[in-house]
Chain A
Amino acid sequence: MNKVTHKIQRSRAFLTVFLKEVKENLRDRRTLISAFLTGPLLGPVLFVMLINITLNRELDKAEKPLPVPVIGAQYAPNLVDALKAGGVVPGAAVADPEQAVRKQEADVVLRIAANYGKAWRKGEPVQVELFYDSSQRDANTSVERVTQLVEGYARQQGALRLVARGLSPSTAWPLQVARRDQATPQSRAVLMFAMLPYFFVITIFMGGMYLAIDLTAGERERQSLEPLFANPVPRWKILCGKLAAICTFSTASLLITLLAFAVVGQFIPAEKLGMELDLGVHFAAHVLLLMLPLVLLLSALQSMVAAFAKSYREAQTYLSLLMLVPIIPSAVLSFMPIKAQAWMYAVPLLGQNLGIMQLLRGDGVSAEQVGLCLAGSMVAAVVAVLATIQLYRSERLAISV
């Protein structure tokens, strides 16, 4: 061979590896399903289901007639009428209210004492009891409604008594709280969408996972890594071709999921909850930009972790563990909301998380934040790629067991 063919070969090796990996993996049904179906669509579907269930439940509870077993309804007909006006349907008395609530036969049970009428006429304070189980989150709306109706009735009657004695009702309530909620429709949505960034990360992860496993553990298990390394191509070029194939698949996954969210976003009845949701082109383009360095970072991390595994199965186990790592920023941010500092944008995963939440909130991201996010993640990605190249140079890597 002469020098000229060597030149040709240098520029072609990367492309050759890349094209072969893409072709081979396009023929693998498991990879295709994971990268283009379950990975990218799981998030949007789960999301819509979750939101619809939550929405319908909230809306139902607020409007629907609410059946409440009332014990001793005959002692307080006026109170029961007031409850009826508020949408409560008084039910037959139950023998054991504690038991009924615990067994979830009723969300809430109201008990009116037998001396209600007598005490009321004397103007003495009387007690009504509400039985409920606060660990049943499902029942909380019902409890809240009944409580408000009873308290409203009490306040109303109290005011009437004051007026009857010639006093202004305001003497009894010297202080009034006026609530001024500063939440915008978008920011209310954010609470519900806190896990959205994680869905994007998972999608990238699933898109490239099988390729990453195949890259080292798979090649080694089927004993093709040694012959591959006998070719006159530096190992780092082979690795780069493979990383490019992983990135291509995970980027395709991300695009599919963004598209799916954009479509699905049309059907989320967000306005019913007083939210505003924009998952359209503007949102998708920004997410894609923020996520690009993560695509490279994750592909290198996946390859690195898979390279330590002796077999395909072992690599799968390691990677499923690695998949849990990106949950951390999402979980931390949703459980203890922290005020974003500038440096946080430079932290991979955390930066993307903050950026996407801001986009959802409708605040938009500044050029500085995007810059920090891209730079921080890109540095991490380059370090991960270099570390993987180093790992790829080890003698033991190529030897099939």
Chain B
Amino acid sequence: MIEVRDLHKAFGTVKAVDGVSFTARDGEITGLLGPNGAGKTTTLRMLYTLMAPDRGQVLVDGIDAAVDPLGVRRQLGVLPDARGLYKRLTARENIDYFARLHGLPENLLKSRRDALIDALEMADIADRRTEGFSQGQRVKTAIARALVHDPRNVILDEPTNGLDVMATRALRQFMARLKAEGRCVLFSSHIMQEVAALCDRIVVIAHGRVVADESPDALRAQTGENNLEDAFVKIIGSDEGLAA
């Protein structure tokens, strides 16, 4: 479970995140929806302790990120906005590197890695060097290395960015599977259809603030709009930065 309480973060005079609070529960998919530049990535970066918030608190499975950042990172599997691979290593070696950084014993490492390669259907590319991988192959490798330590909580920053239809479909199925395994899945997106199709809970962020935190149905009821797209536009106040 991920709990975020009143997060603030400013870069100079720009308030990137200005009082964000929400809770992402185990066995649920929580969507962080917002236009480009709303503060989604900055919020997530504070969750996986890449940045320290100016104010506010992050709790992951009850561990305070300010007190024990390493403990928090142990509980998290993270696919950041930046998902570069080591191009002179094979996909398998890329995954193994992160597994070892997580301190996985070698026998557990092998079984976890092979299970993920199976689940992500990437056996055919596992022993190729990642140089020249397609966007989809790169994302698969990045997800595998993020989840190799079997984390309870999974954070995905715009996971379907740049993927084609087939790869997007496969990724959504994979996220549903993570949810079925009882994990807490938190992902960000600026694509409303994606969020609507997947999420149990939607947190809408605009201008660094949470403007809605509901289930998709409640969101429709709250705005009085039947169409989710219209509901979002109404909440955010404009359709700027929202892609269809």
Contacts and interface: CB of A to CB of B under 8 A. Distances in A.
Interface string A279-320: 000000000000000000000000000000000000000000
A155 interface: no
B70 A234 contact: yes
A253 B112 CA distance: 39
A230 B80 contact: yes
A233 B84 contact: no
A227 interface: yes
B84 A222 contact: yes
A16 B97 contact: yes
B66 to A, nearest CB: 14
B102 A9 contact: yes
B101 A229 contact: no
**Most A CB atoms within 10 A — which of B74, B87, B101?**
B101
A24 B84 contact: no
Nearest to A233: B101
B182 interface: no
Given A24-B86, A224-B85, A231 B101 contact: yes
B132 interface: no
B171 interface: no
B241 to A, nearest CB: 20
A219 B74 CA distance: 22
B82 A232 contact: no
Contacts of B80: 226-227, 230
Contacts of A325: none
A339 B73 CA distance: 57
Given A8-B105, A20-B97, A23-B89, A230 B50 contact: yes
B73 A224 contact: no
Contacts of B101: 9, 13, 16-17, 228, 231-233
Contact of B142 (A24, A222, A227, A232): A227
A5 interface: yes
A28 B102 CA distance: 26
Contacts of B73: 230-232
A6 B98 CA distance: 15
A27 B131 CA distance: 12
A20 B131 CA distance: 16
Contacts of A9: 101-103
A398 interface: yes
A16 B103 CA distance: 10
A225 B82 contact: yes
Interface string B92-133: 010001101111110000000000000000000000000000
A400 interface: yes
Interface in A1-32: 1, 5-6, 8-10, 12-13, 16-17, 20, 23-25, 27-28
Contacts of A390: none
A12 B100 CA distance: 8
Interface bin, chain B:
20 to 34
A230 B78 contact: yes
A223 B50 CA distance: 14
B interface: dominant SS: loop
A229 B50 CA distance: 7
A124 interface: no
A220 to B, nearest CB: 9
Contacts of A234: 70
Interface bin, chain A:
20 to 34
Interface string A202-229: 0000000000000000010011111111
A69 B161 CA distance: 83
B145 interface: yes
A8 B73 CA distance: 16
Contacts of B89: 20, 23-24, 27
Contacts of B100: 12, 16
B76 interface: yes
B88 interface: yes
B52 interface: yes
A226 to B, nearest CB: 4
B111 to A, nearest CB: 15
A231 B73 CA distance: 6
A280 B86 CA distance: 41
A227 B52 CA distance: 16
**Most A CB atoms within 10 A — which of B86, B89, B98?**
B86
A395 interface: yes
Interface in B178-224: none
8 contacts: A27-B89, A28-B88, A226-B82, A227-B83, A227-B98, A230-B73, A232-B70, A232-B102
Closest 8 CB pairs of A and B: A9-B103, A223-B84, A224-B84, A223-B82, A232-B73, A222-B84, A231-B101, A230-B78
Interface of B: 48, 50-52, 70-71, 73-74, 76, 78-89, 93, 97-98, 100-105, 142, 145-146
Interface of A: 1, 5-6, 8-10, 12-13, 16-17, 20, 23-25, 27-28, 219, 222-234, 395, 398-400
